[in-house]
Every structure is written in C-alpha cells, then in structure tokens.
C-alpha cells in the first residue's frame, strides 16, 4: 500500500501460509484481517490505485517462475512503451517468520527450512534466468548475528589473519531453526551476488511492534496482522496484550536478553529507503534495521508503568526460560546505515506505548488468555 501510494505498480504474492499456520496452531489474531483480494479491492475504491494480487506458493519453482513470464501479470493501466512485464524491484518477505514455530517439533523445523530456503532459492534462480538487473530487497533478521561478545557491524567485518586482511560476512550464530534459515538465505543471496552479479539488499530486522501506519488512517480495515500468542506475537505487542487482560508479563528467565526493536512505521520507511538506494550489480548491501535496543526487563518496566497509569493491574512474572539463550550478555550493534539514508526513527516512548495500549484495549474482548503462553521448549 505504501509503494502503491507513491506511484509504484505493485503486485503482492502470498499463499496465506501465515493465516493457515495461525489456524492450525490455534494462534488466533487480535482481530480478523480481510483477504488480500478484498484489501486490494478496498484500496482501489479508496485511492483509485490498483494492487495486483497473486495467490500462489513461492516455494514451488514453477509458481515463482510463472511470475517472470512477460505479461504474466496483466498491468492494464500501464501504457509506457518501455514496459517489459518484468519487475524493477522484488521485496522478499515470504517466509515462516517464527522461532518457536520452527522449534515445536521436527515437522515444523522441516516446514520452516524447506519453505524459507526454497522460496529464496527459487527467487535467486528466477532472477538469474529472467531479470538479472532487478534489485532484490530481502528481509533478514538481527537474530542471524546472535549475541556475540564483540560489537555487531552492519553485515561485514574486516579480519586480519596471519598478516593478511580480507572482508567477510559478519559471523552468524543463530539460536533457532528459523534464524538459521535466515542465515542460509543470506548465504544463498551472497552466492547469487558473487556468481551472477545480482544486486541485493539484506535488511537485518529486529522485532517489530505497533500497527499504526499511515494507511490505516485511510481505512482501518488496512491494519496488518497482529498476533499476541507465544508463537507469532512479537515481544512488545505481546506484553501490551498481556497487560490489557491482566495476565502477568511473561519474562523468560533473568530478562537481560537485549535486542534491537523498531516501530512498524520505521519498517516501512526502511524498506522504502532500501528500494530507493539500490546497490550496484554484484553488490550485497546489508543494513541493521533497528532503531534502539532494550532488554526484556526494560520493555516489561515500560509496559508495567504505562499499563498501571491506564488502570490495568499489571504484574511481571519471571518464568523458567523455555528457550536456550543467554539471559545476560554484551550487545552493541551498529545501526546507522538506514538513518544515514534518511529514515526518521519513531522511538518507544511512554506516549507511543499509550497509543498501542489504546488500540489493543479496543479489542479486549477478542483476547484469549489461554493462547498467551504454552512454553514451547528449545
């Protein structure tokens, strides 16, 4: 919707993997979200702009490749003679994005690896075969780096070894099968860049919170999916939902786990900045897509403070950590690149937490306490 508003011709491809998984695992969303076709129809009604929707499984190579056949997508509004039927930019979001999902059992680990790696590999080969000049913007994750005891650079590190120097991908050591699949995605992309001169931007994103985008002011039915359960919910969204129903905030272990976070509005700014600043052919550009860092305890304190101000009886519970992770560690990532491209961060302030509370409070009756925590073990 953001790109469409800015005049880009947009095609969205999805197979409803996420919604099907939520249904399968009884991990209901905070509110229902309309189908992509229905959202595109309302978008056209409200803005006059058309977003093409294709429902298909991108882990199937033939589905992926069919999108690259000239005129596979009927852009009837396009009259420009230079139009080739091929995209200029591909934004790759299509993955199973949950760490707990990937560690539920061998079956969900298998789904995660095969879905994520096949989508990435199919994309790589389709771009190699049909449009090498296209700019791929891929969503990676800060979780690829893990929590090393040295500063985290933006993607690359120069190493001196026995008197010689070279630059390498920053060492990665993930702590879930999902995050490991993202490392492998990066490796696949880097391979395509080296072998075939592809141009790729990899965005190492931290956990996203919030739902208030400019587009939901056009129509509230454009809200994105919001999960608050243990499998698909991200930390800040989950804590606020827990506070609203009086469930103790679920801090795992000592709560010193520190990560970089960003507001959903900044996700949109970052992806746009990446699209507008493409790398040269044969270049892999990596940005760390976070705006600030917090420990789990710090987030719990903010949600506790704001929740109490709003009259919720908020308490914090330290649960035995179901994950295998460092609960207190050094964490100092660099994340200047996107800000230097002009992204203006929205920080997590008491005011922004109040507005998130207000949104979640509006759906209080939909919140099911029994799906908040089930203790999926690593």
Question: Is 182 an annotated catalytic residue?
Answer: yes
Question: Is 224 an annotated catalytic residue?
Answer: no
Under the binding rule (CB under 6 A), the answer on residue 16 touching ligand NAD is yes
Under the binding rule (CB under 6 A), the answer on residue 126 touching ligand NAD is no
Smallest separation (angstroms) from ligand NAD to the CB of 285 = 17
Instruction: Compute φ and ψ for 294, nearest 5 degrees.
Output: -145, 150
From 15-23, 162-170, 211-219, 315-323, span contacting ligand NAD (CB under 6 A): 15-23
Q: Are strands 316-319 and 208-209 parallel, antiparallel or unpaired?
A: unpaired
From 11-19, 66-74, 157-165, 349-357, span contacting ligand NAD (CB under 6 A): 11-19
Smallest separation (angstroms) from ligand NAD to the CB of 177 = 12
* CB-based burial label for 149 (10 Å; 0-12, 13-18, 19+): exposed
Question: Which DSSP state fits 24?
Answer: H
Radius of gyration, CA atoms only, the chain: 21
Site string for ligand NAD, 265-284 (x = CB under 6 A): --------------------
* Half-sphere exposure in the Cβ direction for 125 (13 Å, CA): 14
Under the binding rule (CB under 6 A), the answer on residue 97 touching ligand NAD is yes
Under the binding rule (CB under 6 A), the answer on residue 93 touching ligand NAD is yes
Under the binding rule (CB under 6 A), the answer on residue 124 touching ligand NAD is no
Q: Are 116 and 95 in contact, with CB atoms under 8 Å apart?
A: yes
Smallest separation (angstroms) from ligand NAD to the CB of 213 = 12
Under the binding rule (CB under 6 A), the answer on residue 152 touching ligand NAD is no
Cα–Cα distance for residue pair 109/26, rounded to 1 Å = 18
In 10 A of CB 243, how many CB atoms? 27
Strands (E), 56-127: 89-92
**98 to 117, contacts with ligand NAD by CB under 6 A?**
115
Site string for ligand NAD, 51-90 (x = CB under 6 A): ------xxx-------------------------------
Question: Is 344 an annotated catalytic residue?
Answer: no
Q: Are strands 10-14 and 258-263 parallel, antiparallel or unpaired?
A: unpaired
User: Cα-Cα-Cα-Cα dihedral of 190, 195, 198, 202, to 10°?
Assistant: 0
Positions touching ligand NAD (CB under 6 A) are 13-18, 57-59, 93-95, 97, 115, 119, 139, 141, 205, 207-208, 225, 234
């Amino acid at each position: 919707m953001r790109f469409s508003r800015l005049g880009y011709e947009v095609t969205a491809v999805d197979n409803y993997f996420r919604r099907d998984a939520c249904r399968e695992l009884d991990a209901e969303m905070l509110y229902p979200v309309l189908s992509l076709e229905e959202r595109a129809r309302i978008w056209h009604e409200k803005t006059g702009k058309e977003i093409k929707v294709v429902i298909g499984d991108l882990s199937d190579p033939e589905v992926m490749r069919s999108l690259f056949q000239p005129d596979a997508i009927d852009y009837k509004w396009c009259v420009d003679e230079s139009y080739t039927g091929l995209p200029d930019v591909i934004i790759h979001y299509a993955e199973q994005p949950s760490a707990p999902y990937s560690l539920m059992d061998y079956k969900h680990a298998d789904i995660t690896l095969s879905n994520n790696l096949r989508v990435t590999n199919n994309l790589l080969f389709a771009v190699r075969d049909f449009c090498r000049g296209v700019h791929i913007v891929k969503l990676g994750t800060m979780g690829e780096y893990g929590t090393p005891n040295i500063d985290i650079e933006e993607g690359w590190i120069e190493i001196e070894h026995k008197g010689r120097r070279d630059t390498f991908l920053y060492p990665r050591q993930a702590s879930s099968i999902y995050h490991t699949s993202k490392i492998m995605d990066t490796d696949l992309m880097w391979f395509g860049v080296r072998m075939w001169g592809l141009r790729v931007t990899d965005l190492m994103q931290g956990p996203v919170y919030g739902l208030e985008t400019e587009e939901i002011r056009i129509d509230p039915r454009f809200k994105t999916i919001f999960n608050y359960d243990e499998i698909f919910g991200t930390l800040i969204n989950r804590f606020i939902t827990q506070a609203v129903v009086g469930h103790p905030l679920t801090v795992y272990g000592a709560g010193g786990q520190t990560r970089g976070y960003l507001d959903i509005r900044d996700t949109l700014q970052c992806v746009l900045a990446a699209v507008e600043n493409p790398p040269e052919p044969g270049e892999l550009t990596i940005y760390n897509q976070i705006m600030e860092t917090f420990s789990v305890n710090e987030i719990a304190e903010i949600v506790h403070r704001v929740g109490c101000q709003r009259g919720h009886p908020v308490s914090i519970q330290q649960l035995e950590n179901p994950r295998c992770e460092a609960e207190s560690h050094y964490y100092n990532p660099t994340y200047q690149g996107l800000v230097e491209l002009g992204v203006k961060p929205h920080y997590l302030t008491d005011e922004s937490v109040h507005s998130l509370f207000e949104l979640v409070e509006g759906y209080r009756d939909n919140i099911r306490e029994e799906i908040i925590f089930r203790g999926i073990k690593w």
